[in-house]
A = this chain, B = another copy of it.
Amino acid sequence: MKTATDQKATSLETVQSSLLNMGLLDGLSSAQFNDFLQQAVQKTYPKGFVLFAQGDEAEAFYLITRGWVKLYRETLDGEEAVVDVLTAGHLFGETAIFEEDGYGMSAEVVEEAEIVSLPLGLLKQLMAESPQLSMNMLKTMSRFRRQQDMELEHRTLQNASQRIGCFLLRLCKPDAKSPIRLNLPYDKTLIASRLGMKPETFSRALARLREDTGIRIQGATVEIDGLNQLSGYSCSTCSSSYPCKDL
């Protein structure tokens, strides 16, 4: 059984700065902010740790400060559908306050992660008092909705190679100096699932992307000579232009 490491005592300042940065608590009174801070628990979780399973009673929501977490659902046939793979700065589990049947999906750590958990009950209570908090939450959800819209659009209009190109572009800073060298954030099987591809489709599409754009991939390392060719390749079939707002 994988266990998590409690770091509450050692990192109050880190937690505070993470909560300030996440945007959700902007505009709250100091007392309200401190309520969250007091109940925040930061832990380090190993790869493979399941934070919650679909249908579990929902008591907390989570903020990632390091590492990667996979959100997924399972079908009646036992197949797994990856909903998203999130990293530092992302929230998850917060929409469970609108659900009656617990969490709507499962969450598993896929690369060692530092995660702050926060009580859903407090979020619900403060939302009834603070229009600002509701407004922040709406902004967060509306950004997420745009990303999902975009994802659906890509599944319809981009081919598999273009979708891998888009995934790589999102890992690069738009003003990075060429040539760009980056590490794939998690293993290729999971990247394939995240992009809604079977592993063999992913391999073929990756080979074609290398041929078409000249990028080089060795293990988990990717080298890109310039972003223009990659963005021209992927973004022509997208309704946003590069660099996109949500990047």
Contacts of A98 in B (CB 8 A): 138-139, 142-143
- Counting chain B CB atoms within 10 Å of each CB, which of A77, A142, A241 scores highest? A142
CB distance from A54 to the nearest CB of B (A): 7
Binary flags per residue of A168-195, CB closer than 8 Å to B gives 1, else 0? 0000000000000000000000000000
Asked if A54 and B134 sit within 8 Å, CB to CB, the answer is no
Number of copies: 2
Query: Could you say which residues of chain B place their CB within 8 Å of the CB of A127?
Result: 131, 134-135, 138
B148 contacts A76, C-beta separation under 8 Å: no
A7, chain B: closest CB distance, angstroms: 31
CB-nearest residue of chain B to A143 = B98
Q: Which of A9-17, A30-38, A39-47, A232-240 contacts B (4 or more CB under 8 A)?
A: A232-240
| A145 interface neighbour in B77, B131, B141, B152, Cβ under 8 Å | B141
Chain B interface: which of A60-68, A153-161, A203-211? A153-161
Q: Decide if A152 touches B149 in the complex (CB within 8 Å).
A: no
Cβ-neighbour of A157 out of B79, B141, B239, B241 (below 8 A): B79
Query: For A83, what are the chain B residues with a Cβ–Cβ distance below 8 Å?
Result: 149, 152-153
- A200: interface (CB < 8 Å): no
Smallest beta-carbon distance A157→chain B, Å? 5
Decide yes or no whether A128 CB sits under 8 A from chain B.
yes
A221 contacts chain B at the CB level, 8 A cutoff:
no
Give A138 to B130 CA distance when docked, in angstroms.
14
Which residues of B sit under 8 angstroms from A99, Cβ to Cβ?
A: 142
| Interface hits, A44-99 → B, CB 8 Å | 54, 73-77, 79, 81-83, 95, 98-99
The reply to whether the CB of A105 lies closer than 8 angstroms to some CB of chain B is yes
User: Given A54-B239, A141-B142, A236-B76, does the pair A151, B152 have CB atoms closer than 8 Å?
Assistant: yes
Chain A residues within CB distance 8 Å of chain B:
54, 73-77, 79, 81-83, 95, 98-99, 104-105, 127-131, 134-135, 137-139, 141-146, 148-149, 151-153, 155-157, 196, 235-239, 241
In the complex, 25 of the A-B residue pairs with CB atoms within 8 angstroms, ordered by the A residue number, are A75-B153, A75-B157, A75-B239, A76-B236, A76-B241, A77-B236, A79-B157, A79-B237, A81-B152, A81-B153, A81-B156, A83-B149, A98-B138, A98-B142, A98-B143, A127-B131, A127-B135, A128-B135, A131-B131, A134-B134, A137-B138, A138-B141, A155-B155, A155-B196, A156-B196
